Amino acid sequence: MRSGSRTCSTRHNLRRAVGIIVSEQEYDFDGNAHGPNVTLIGADKLHLFDPDRRVQLFVPDLAVEIVSANDKFESLMEKADRYRKCGTKEVWVLSPKTQRAFVQSEDGEAILGRDRMFESKLIHGFAIPLGDLFDRAKVTPRRSRPLPRP
């Protein structure tokens, strides 16, 4: 079997087993459209996903919100509560500034520091220390270079 075929087959099997990861997609949360930064649509909901729809008519299984400078803690927690009440199984609110994660799931709520693992029962076998996740996600600003003189 060629390498490319194996990769395609592996992706197909992973998609059937886990689902798909989507960024900046809006979903219908009880009549309100919200677009978490990253979502997981589980394999059992893939048939509902319509890539041509701006707002999906179902909720994702996992929603991840990444705190930005303009976000207010209260509004992000309200979103997380709404996501869970509407059927999202897990919600992760990641704060790059504090390097903490606020997690709401069927198992309860937790605040995790950078020494804890980012892992979900929804993505079997995937785990990464939060510190590594935050370190890998850091954006290094480009150094400005002077323009060449004519």
CATH number of the domain where residue 96 is located: 3.90.1570.10
* Residue 57 counted as domain residue: yes
pLDDT band of 7, cuts 50, 70, 90: very low
Q: Tell me the residue length of the chain.
A: 150
Compute the mean pLDDT over every residue in the chain, rounded to the nearest whole number.
84
* Residue 5 counted as domain residue: no
Q: What is the pLDDT of residue 46?
A: 95
Asked whether residue 88 carries a pLDDT value surpassing 50, the answer given is: yes
* Residue 147 counted as domain residue: no
Q: Which residue in the block uniquely carries the two structure tokens 């919600």?
A: 91
Type of residue found at 35: G
Q: Which domain holds residue 132?
A: 23-137
Q: What is the pLDDT of residue 150?
A: 53
Distance spanning both ends of the chain, measured CA to CA:
55
Q: What is the pLDDT of residue 125?
A: 85
Q: What is the pLDDT of residue 5?
A: 42
| Residue range 24-35: mean pLDDT, rounded | 94
Provide the number of structural domains found in the chain.
Answer: 1
